[in-house]
Amino acid sequence: MEFFNFHTHKLTNQSDVLELVNQYPREFDASIPFYSIGIHPWYIAEDKIDTDLKIIEEKLQNQNCLAIGECGLDKRIEIPLDLQTSVFEKQLILAEKYKKPVVIHCVAAFQEVIAIKKKRKITVPMIIHGFSKNSQLADQLIKEGFYISFGKYLLRNPELRTVFQQIPNDRFFLETDTVEETIQQVYDLASEYKNINYSALQDIISTNYKRVFHK
């Protein structure tokens, strides 16, 4: 593995890239080599929650399922926050049961996610994907034990440079999510921002991958 794409919705099948492809319970594709699976807050359907959770639990027992998610909280959608919270917490219980890291979607609900981590005493790694906020929030998340993944907004927003530079090297991942750019392009920018060579960045990500995913 030369590159690790922490979160993507598109399998590119490059031989030198390990891609953690996001999957949904009702749209599962068995041909994808490595994946995360979860109930995204956007796609919560009350009459399908129990069925979805059963599918997720079944897939979590597969070695190729590296994580649960993306799951989390989003205050900018119409689905009630208490329902989102219930579904999120049920997935965290599964993450703890099967010792799988959690890929987190969080929009305008960071304090709630932090509070749930504390309340549920979550011990598995929790990774905020697609981070786009300020250094103060990043510092708080790191202090509370979260990892942070950067991709789309790192490419799109130059103001994130300073935020990314201040993230400890043992607490970040890189991703493409839904953008057209390659994970190699994200690595290019990350190595420039961190002022380290490509090989050093690859070593950092590889070490973080081994720690979080026990590989």
d(C-alpha 116, C-alpha 77), whole Å: 19
Query: What is the C-alpha R_g of the chain?
Result: 16
d(C-alpha 209, C-alpha 215), whole Å: 7
Tokens of 72: 């989390």
Place of tokens 């927003």: 157
Q: Which residues participate in the annotated binding site for a divalent metal cation? A: 70, 105, 129, 177
Closest CA to 127 of 65, 211, 50: 211
d(C-alpha 197, C-alpha 191), whole Å: 6
d(C-alpha 128, C-alpha 89), whole Å: 16
CA 95 vs CA 59, 124, 132: distances in Å? 12, 7, 25
Q: Which residues participate in the annotated binding site? A: 70, 105, 129, 177
Q: Tell me the CB-side half-sphere exposure of residue 79, using CA atoms within 13 A.
A: 18
